[in-house]
Amino acid sequence: MLKLEARPEPSRAMSIASPLIALAITVVIGTCLFLILGKDPLRGLAVFFVEPVKSVYALTELAVKATPLLLIALGLAVCFRSNVWNIGAEGQFIVGAIFASGVAMQATASTGGWFFVAVIAGGIVGGMAWAAIVALLRDRFNANEILVSLMLVYVAEQLLNYVVYGPWKDPAGYNFPQTITFLKSTQVPKLFTGYRVNVGVLVALVSVAAFWILLFRTYAGFQLQVGGLAPAAARYAGFSSRKALWSALLLSGGMAGLAGGLEVAGPLGQLTPHVPAGYGFAAIIVAFVGRLHPVGIVFSAILMSMFYIGGELAQSRLGLPKSLTGVFQGLLLFTLLACDTLIAYRVRWKPSRVAPVVAAPTVDDAPLNPVVASTTLPAREGT
């Protein structure tokens, strides 16, 4: 039978090349998928890997998609390195968008252009507040942060539906579930005229540098990583596990809230039920494909945003369902997990051996041992 046997020392080169191998396998499986669906595989692959980078406009749209993925994945990388499994970044993204929208709707015609900073700050506070619920329940009641953070995603979605269908609904919006269009003073400034890309891209790039310094050049980042890799060693060194828990979750929630604030104050310009686009869940894949490293996350965020744009183009040009985006994302994750497993373990074929059946000894076959007989078998009267 097949067994997984741990390798003495996993290959470092293969660990680095694993995401590229996983991408290649994903492309091969995607080609077969297009053939099964009766579509031209070359045209299908071009929609995912060529169209998103073939023009200046396409590149700017790629940056718009990659920005929230990059921001959320940076926060998740800190959590995962700290052995804190925050799976509910999508909920923190939604609540961040709600808080940012609440601030944006307070602006008036006389509000200055600086007000977008307050809008973004509101998004950060919202994301941190939603993540604080997870930290509190884990800290005080030892609740599983995976389940709590995941369930809070659905609570956040219901909260979003309540505000856009209820008190924040635009009275002049023809009964559509959406808020008013935010004033220009509350919107994030654009980098180029005629394109949707805004200063959120610069914020994301600065965040990459900041997180690299935090993780690899500061004592606080060292504490977080030691707590994740070796909890016993962290306790022996006097590092606070509670502090690591709260720091990781608040930082991750703040980054997700920042992404939500940039989304509603940037490309969308208002709050709608369509704000949750799955960025929080896709960012988990982005973080792992990027090897939980800020620089690697940049490239994986670009790749994942290509899947988003490719899925939209496949729907309009090839007549394929938009869910194909999720298929490619899932393929990339599972192939990466398979590659990582084979890097750490080797597959061994071990023939199953049938143990020989040994007959129970009979009385005649038992050896005569007077010492044993005298000590184990009671003597009968009359013998």
User: Which of the pair, 361 or 112, is modelled with greater confidence?
Assistant: 112
**361 part of a folded domain:** no
Task: Give me the pLDDT at residue 9, please.
Answer: 86
In the chain, % of residues over pLDDT 90: 69
Is pLDDT of 129 > 90? Answer: yes
Domain of 251: which CATH number? Answer: 1.10.3470
- 36 pLDDT tier (thresholds 50, 70, 90): very high
Tokens describing residue 325: 């985006």
**233 part of a folded domain:** yes
- 380 pLDDT tier (thresholds 50, 70, 90): very low
- 145 pLDDT tier (thresholds 50, 70, 90): very high
Is pLDDT of 195 > 70? Answer: yes
Average pLDDT, the chain: 89
**377 part of a folded domain:** no
Cβ–Cβ < 8 Å for 294, 215: yes
Is pLDDT of 372 > 50? Answer: no
**363 part of a folded domain:** no
Span 198-206, average pLDDT: 96
Task: Give me the pLDDT at residue 111, please.
Answer: 86
Which residues pair with residue 2 across a beta bridge?
349
Span 45-49, average pLDDT: 92
Task: Give me the pLDDT at residue 354, please.
Answer: 58
Is pLDDT of 128 > 80? Answer: yes
**375 part of a folded domain:** no
| Rounded distance between C-alpha atoms, residue 350 and residue 343, angstroms | 20
Task: Give me the pLDDT at residue 322, please.
Answer: 80
pLDDT, tens digit (0-9, with 9 covering 90-100), for 75-115: 999 999 999 999 999 999 999 999 999 999 999 988 887 89
**229 part of a folded domain:** yes
Is pLDDT of 371 > 50? Answer: no
Is pLDDT of 136 > 70? Answer: yes
Q: Which domain holds residue 269?
A: 2-349
**368 part of a folded domain:** no
Q: How many domains does the chain have?
A: 1
CB-based burial of residue 29 (10 Å sphere; 0-12 exposed, 13-18 middle, 19+ buried)?
Answer: middle
Rg (CA), the chain: 28
Task: Give me the pLDDT at residue 364, please.
Answer: 55
Is pLDDT of 379 > 60? Answer: no
Task: Give me the pLDDT at residue 356, please.
Answer: 62
- 361 pLDDT tier (thresholds 50, 70, 90): low
**371 part of a folded domain:** no
Most confident of 29-38, 93-102, 322-331: 93-102
Lowest model confidence (mean pLDDT) among 7-11, 277-281, 320-324, 355-359: 355-359
pLDDT, tens digit (0-9, with 9 covering 90-100), for 246-290: 999 999 999 999 999 999 999 999 999 999 989 999 999 999 999
Q: What end-to-end distance do the CA atoms of the chain give, in Å?
A: 57
Is pLDDT of 323 > 90? Answer: no
Those residues whose C-beta lies under 8 Å from the C-beta of residue 328, and which sit 6 or more positions away, are: 26, 30, 48, 307, 310, 311
Task: Give me the pLDDT at residue 147, please.
Answer: 96
User: Which of the pair, 206 or 4, is modelled with greater confidence?
Assistant: 206
Cβ–Cβ < 8 Å for 192, 60: yes
CA distances for 81 relative to 102, 221, 224, 319, angstroms: 33, 10, 7, 41
Task: Give me the pLDDT at residue 352, please.
Answer: 65
